Amino acid sequence: MSVYMLRPRFGSAPSPSRARHGTEMPPVDLDAADQAQAAAANELETKGAGRVEETAQAAGRLHPLAAKYFDADARLYAMVARMFVVGKPHAGGKWNEEWADTLAKGVGGIIIAKENYGFSPRKLWNLTSALKNHANRSLAIFADQEGGWRGKYRHGQAFREGFTPLPKMGTVGNKLKNDSFLQHQVAKEVSATKFRELRAVNIDLNFDPVMDVNSNPSNPVIGDRAISGNVSRVASLGAAMISAGQAQSVGAVAKHFPGHGDTTTDSHLELPQVHKSLDALWKVELKPFAAAVRANVSGIMTAHILYPKVDPGKPATMSSVFIHDILRTQLGYDGIVFSDSLDMKAVMNNQWSVGDVIVQAVNAGVDMLVTSNKRTDNFEDRAIVALMDAVKARSVPQERIMEANRRIDRLFAGYVRPATERFEFHPDLNKKWFVPPPTE
């Protein structure tokens, strides 16, 4: 199969937005909106953004998705496709036609699931090397590597066999509570080990740490994935983990903004609702994310949760109140905003179509759209087409696509690397994290 390079190039990232606070967006100046749209279109044309190059000329064809827009909209398609991060749990752990097909769509990132890694760091390295080398463009490889054995909450250390065993984050946050210095040292060592081993197998970004506060014992999906039920401890240890992890040249993505710790339902299965006021959220849920922003976290992932007292109509992933007003303006965050997986039932239900979710999420401020792709209905294809068509119909301004791509440029420059030339991996398979310090 032919694989094509779709590599948008843009200028420097804009400074953080400073729109006024509040739950209502500023009124739209139609003339200004038209001018911004025209400027974005001009930048597409004059700067050569999204230049499409054939990298396997003998095969001689574009992926059908790209071909649909090739004549008139190839540049725009390149930027839109780049905003997607997709998983392929059923593609296996070796380079094959399905992986080639995915790369040919021009997606910006690939999530490596536990089903892909072959229970071997070397096999994982082989796969990620093949993906990066066949992409012929800057391709981000993601992991969802938390800590602890995957049990009740279905999350944890996705890559375990052959890796240093990692404790659950709740264990890190609740051990050594009487020695804050030692607790922080252990937290930083856990994170540094986790992220260093990910870099060794060509992983560029990790959807970690969980910055939710474990405040509800009835929560079916967070629990000891969270660092603690203590707000200050989550904020402090989480920020330390971010800094230690990113020092290994792997970007950290804090999740699940604005907080998933006080839900009683699982957003994988249905849309949770949290009936807290914004003032209450500032006291608990939002504090760890403020700490993550101060720690210069490379990305923040949204939660598919409805907070009726803050934005009664939209889950956080689709809410400009949460992403624009709170995260961007009040917290001053100008990094990448990732959606949680868009094939989760919290948003993929009878209330919204794929197009509804995509358009509202991007307009609210989501820069990269994630799908774990456990569905069998061509979800990622439909999602890419939905966003492309929305931009052409001006339901999503071109400037919003440009803004997202400028942030992606900055993220990729900081953390996305070519595949390493040789496999070097040094785990501590017998690591004990909570050994009492030696006595004098």
Instruction: Enumerate the active-site residues.
Output: 268, 340
Contact yes or no for 390/358 (Cβ under 8 A) = yes
Listed as own residue / partner, the contacts of 405-408 with beta carbons closer than 8 Å and 24 or more positions apart are 405/8, 405/10, 405/49, 405/79, 405/82, 405/83, 406/10, 406/11, 406/12, 406/13, 406/14, 407/13, 407/334, 407/335, 407/336, 407/367, 408/8, 408/82, 408/83, 408/108, 408/336, 408/367, 408/368
The DSSP bridge partners found for residue 55 are none
Q: How far apart are CA 174 and CA 132, in angstroms?
A: 39
The radius of gyration computed from the CA coordinates of the chain, to the nearest angstrom, equals 21
* 24 CB neighbour count, 10 Å cutoff: 9
Torsion angle (degrees, nearest 10) of CA 310, 315, 320, 325:
40
